[in-house]
Amino acid sequence: MASLLSAQCVASLRKSGNLISLSSAALSIDKRRYSSHGGSPGEYLHRSVVPSMHYQKSLPRLPVPKLEDTIRRYLAAQRPLLDDDQFRTTEKLAQDFLNGVGKQLHEELVAQDKNNKHTSYISGPWFDMYLSARDSVVLNFNPFMSFNPDPKTEYNDQLVRATNIVCSAVRFMKTLRAGLLEPEVFHLNPAKSDTDGFKKFIRWVPSSLSWYGAYMVNAYPLDMSQYFRLFNSTRIPKQGRDELFTDEKGRHLLVMKRGNMYVFDVIDKDGNLAQPAEIQSHLKHILSDTTPAPALPLGVLTSENRDVWAGLRERLVAAGNTEDLRIVDSALFCLCLDDENMKDHIHISHNMLHGDGCNRWYDKSFSIILAKDGQAAINFEHSWGDGVAVLRFQNEVFKDTTEQPLVHPGSAAAAVDSASAVRRLQFNLDGELENGIKKAKENFDSAVSKLTIDAMEFKKGGKEQLKKSKLSPDAIAQLAFQMGYLRQYGQTVATYESCSTAAFKHGRTETIRPATIHTQKCSQAFVHQPGQHSVDELKAMLAECSKYHGQLTREAAMGQGFDRHLFAMRYLANSKGQALHSLYTDPAYAAINHNILSTSTLTSPAVSLGGFAPVVPDGFGVGYGVHDDWIGCNVSSYPARNVHEFLQCVHKSLEDIFTVLEGKPVS
């Protein structure tokens, strides 16, 4: 269930009987038109004609699927994973659930949902699932998304880029809080809806009706309820269940360098962005500070088991560190300035996903990491929100820093007294805390030493060719993972693809289940029997996989998957202290939720690659993007799996698929 970049699902929405597939990374900034009313570049990114939260009140509610639909979809997803005897058992349990306990749980869930119209049925249980998890947030939950380099290479200098990113981040925050950030909307017909005329009209439609106005022109506003947690927010460890803390009064930035922690104000007392030259001066002061790395870096505690960290945090409070912890928790965000240059994509992935554990505060809602060579990424804590808000933030910051940077190579830092403006935090540590930090570092090193990351670029085709062949690019990428796994390990296994349900009020994610009877049949044909099928037969199988995957994607984006519904009913039974029905104790239920292939897709002009660790010890964490003429994968694994060989098998699968699309037989 863990670290999935869920903004990236290929979402689909239904309009006038036509089913249209669209990428929810179509939040991509290059297609966004802003209506602006001027305003100094120092204050806001833009001034939206339509208030940021204009659509929030009238967003449609996430539907609770019909129970019979959920059971039908669940069994369809189980079919390729089970032999005939296992499937008969699971089918029997599912039918029994449908006619008995499940019916009752479903009715209670629907009644509860009717009484809570301000939210969605998944929101509470989903927060609870994340906040109650006791595993370390590192590897298990926090993903990363790395920025593309600034096209103007001289702007990739660590100090210049850090200053510009901080300034743009503050401008984003100010634009959001002023209600001037363009609302997040999917435009299926931008020529009609993404226009100044439409925006000037819709702003006068009351909030309670505005969604319907957008819907009439084929535009789908997205939920923005998570956005307020982007800034001044931290996950606080507590015994049993963590808490989310936000203090919007904080005006300071937390900066980490060599494991030391510094703070300074980036917003002045009037609420304005501090002078960029001053921010540059303060960051320069931190970069040139000669204070050695602490022998006991406090940040590594945020990588611990949550109960262990909760106990140690209580010790920190008892040792007189309350005020400094409050400063860390209320900081706008965390900026990590690293000492290393990045060697390659793999090095970037390891550094941005986990680093050395010392120069991070993993509990902040997000951290911006800048390597010595200016390579930048966002690492974010996952309980407060999904990839949608973070990707929007990253897109806007990239656009702003590259199009209107506020400091330049050769810009003079302000002649200010940074030594007094910047404070290095110093914590009182007792013996128990010292031992806790040492142990946390040992545990961290042990965990990350087991992680392998490898990447692959398939250069012989991409989105354009697939669309010409009338195939869904996402479906073909997912099929390649199924074929690759079959080639490597000889079986079909539980697979998870994250899909955003942000088209609904307080939507989170739904699961697309890409392993189907169609992908299984097609993979068998390509891998084990290529000579037994004609090119046309193989093409027909590809079309069938694409069509069915498209249907699953549409259903998931419309809140019509089965995973969240079953999860919510199980959560309800648990909360009542009710014994779980045998559907939930069936080994097949455990197996389908043991996601060996955990996948998430991302394409954006701001992002070069994203990644996360596997969600199970014998799994793969597959980040991928289908570009116009190439396909990229960034994949992680633990020692139980061979990631290098998996990528070779995926590459071979893509070669075979594109060979068939060219009308040639598979060798």
**H or E segment and range at residue 21:** strand 18-23
Q: Could you give the CA distance from residue 259 to residue 337 in angstroms, rounded to a whole number?
A: 10
Single-letter amino acid, residue 394: Q
The Cβ-side half-sphere exposure at 644, using a 13 Å CA radius, reads: 4
How far is Cα 449 from Cα 454, in angstroms, rounded to an integer? 14
Q: Tell me how far the alpha carbon of residue 394 is from its chain's centroid.
A: 12
Among residues 361, 354, 374, the alpha carbon closest in space to that of 332 is found at: 361
Residue 604 CA to residue 608 CA, distance in Å, equals 8
- Residue type, position 630, single letter: W
> Residue 343: enclosing H or E segment and its boundaries?
none
DSSP 3-state assignment of 278?
helix
**Catalytic-residue membership of 382:** yes
Inter-residue contact 394 to 143 (CB < 8 Å): no
Q: Which of 46, 106, 252, 382 is catalytic?
A: 382
Q: Two tokens at 166?
A: 């901080």
Q: How many CB atoms lie within 10 A of CB 17?
A: 5
**Number of Cβ atoms within 10 Å of the Cβ of 370:** 22
Rounded Cα distance, 93 and 341, in Å: 55
d(C-alpha 45, C-alpha 652), whole Å = 45
Residue that the structure tokens 């209506």 belong to: 35
Residue 518 has a CB neighbour count (10 Å cut-off) of 21
DSSP 368-418: EEE-TTS-EEEEE-SSS--HHHHHHHHHHHHHHHHHS-SS-TTPPPP---H
Tell me if 302 sits within 8 A of 444, measured CB to CB: no
The residues carrying an active-site annotation are: 382
